[in-house]
Amino acid sequence: MPRKVYLAGPEVFLPDATEVGRRKVEICARYGLLGVFPLDLDSSPGPTTSPATFKACVAAMHDAAAIVANLTPFRGAGADPGTAFELGYVFALGRPVFGYTNDPVAHVERVRSRFGPLRREGDSLFAADGFAVENFELFDNLMLAEVLLESGPGVFIPQMPVADPTRDLATFERCVAHAAESLREAGQG
Amino acid sequence: MPRKVYLAGPEVFLPDATEVGRRKVEICARYGLLGVFPLDLDSSPGPTTSPATFKACVAAMHDAAAIVANLTPFRGAGADPGTAFELGYVFALGRPVFGYTNDPVAHVERVRSRFGPLRREGDSLFAADGFAVENFELFDNLMLAEVLLESGPGVFIPQMPVADPTRDLATFERCVAHAAESLREAGQG
């Protein structure tokens, strides 16, 4: 029986989300894992509701051996907050957490490119929006970056430029390969 | 001994974060709660490091009876991903979760105002960034909106326009008042 891996990420919002999910599940299968794509959870007739989706996702996370989260920036400088929520949820359950981003750019540079020049003040760096920028050479908020170091080598980032960051699955596949090996080593694979 | 409440939110990035945190803790005290502001956790000498901050925040969440999360949009259309992570973490621990936003605008309108006109396609609504927009009349991603309904009345939003959304604590105070009552009723206050 293959171990279930919860596939979090903002690709559920793509017009071709179902197809992207199918490809993700297929890649998981190649590494002996059962990928659980959130959009596949709703089997009830009638329109999708918000409470039903929430309950289905929470149940699926409980049921999963691990999470593989797509932390590519979504509608802003950082990861999709829904995905970040799920990453925290699965981590608190004590399960291994894995993640990747299709944007190789560091957090500081992401903020600079969206909000303009940064300003240094003592040890701190501030963006033009008036807020400080975490300056740790990480890819996103430190909570997301550090939690991935609890279960593995940290975030997976592209090895070469990505033409279509919303659909490219090369970095996802490297992340899944690592997750599969890691779960196997932990006797869960 | 007052119950501890973890105070999550992007105000830790303000230049005057310490002062905002002090005001938040003061409001908590007025309702019989011990507010734990993340910036107050670092008592080690020398510069703050990313792993130490992560560990301190995780330990503080474990130690808290509940979380009060500031889910005001941060550097994008949605909540700060670090705050969203913490909301998921505390929820998975089985503790009550409370949250507020100083931006009363709904998710759909937030996306429209940042990315331009929306396009309807069948039952779905798409933004100009090519991604679908959750159309549930919620304030943010449905995971964030629904989780707040598990412990209370949902997200707290301003009753009147907010001049300084990054520092105004009126809605925070209403949220804390509710959290205090709710924890008391549950025999934890």
Q: 3-state secondary structure string, A43-89?
A: CCCCCCCHHHHHHHHHHHHHHCCEEEEECCECCECCECHHHHHHHHH
- Chain B residues in contact with A52 by the CB 8 A cut-off are none
Average pLDDT, chain B: 95
- Of the partner residues A49, A81, A91, the one whose CB lies closest to the CB of residue B84: A81
- pTM over 0.90? The answer is yes
Q: What percent of chain B has pLDDT over 70?
A: 98
Find which of A13, A86, A139 to mutate to test the B interface (most B CBs within 10 Å of its CB): A13
For the stretch B80-109, pLDDT in tens is 999 999 999 999 999 999 999 999 999 999
pLDDT at B189: 46
Residues B75, A78: C-beta atoms closer than 8 Å: yes
What's the pLDDT at A189?
A: 46
Rounded to whole angstroms, the Cα distance separating A131 from B19 reads: 14
The pLDDT of residue A188 is 54
Residues B57-69 pLDDT 10s = 999 999 999 999 9
pLDDT under 70: residue ranges of chain A:
188-189
**CB contact at 8 A, A165 and A101:** no
Separation CA A17–CA A49 (nearest Å): 18
Residues of A in contact with B138 (CB under 8 A): 50
A–B: how many Cβ contacts below 8 A? 172
pLDDT, residue A157, reads 98
DSSP character for A160? S
Residue B1 has pLDDT above 90, yes or no: no
Q: What is the ipTM of this complex?
A: 0.97
Residue of chain A with shortest Cα separation from B112: A75
Task: Give the span between the Cα atoms of A18 and B22, in whole angstroms.
Answer: 47
- Report CB contact under 8 Å: A121, B85: no
Rounded alpha-carbon distances, angstroms, from residue B51 to A58, A144, A148, B83 = 28, 11, 11, 17
Select the residue of B76, B138, B146 nearest A77 (Cβ to Cβ).
B76
DSSP code of residue B75: S
So what's the pLDDT on residue B123? Answer: 86
Could you give the CA distance from residue A22 to residue A169 in angstroms, rounded to a whole number?
12
Pairing outcome for strands B3-8 and B124-126: unpaired
The residue among B140, B141, B148 with the most chain A CBs within 10 A of its CB, best to mutate, is B141
The arithmetic mean of pLDDT across residues B113-140, rounded, is 94
Q: Under 8 Å CB-to-CB from B39, ≥6 apart: which residues?
A: B12, B17, B18, B21
Q: How far apart are CA B10 and CA A141, in angstroms?
A: 10
CB B24 within 8 A of CB B5: no
Nearest residue, CB atoms, B143 vs list A17, A57, A166: A57
Name the minimum distance, in Å, from the CA of B142 to any CA of chain A: 6
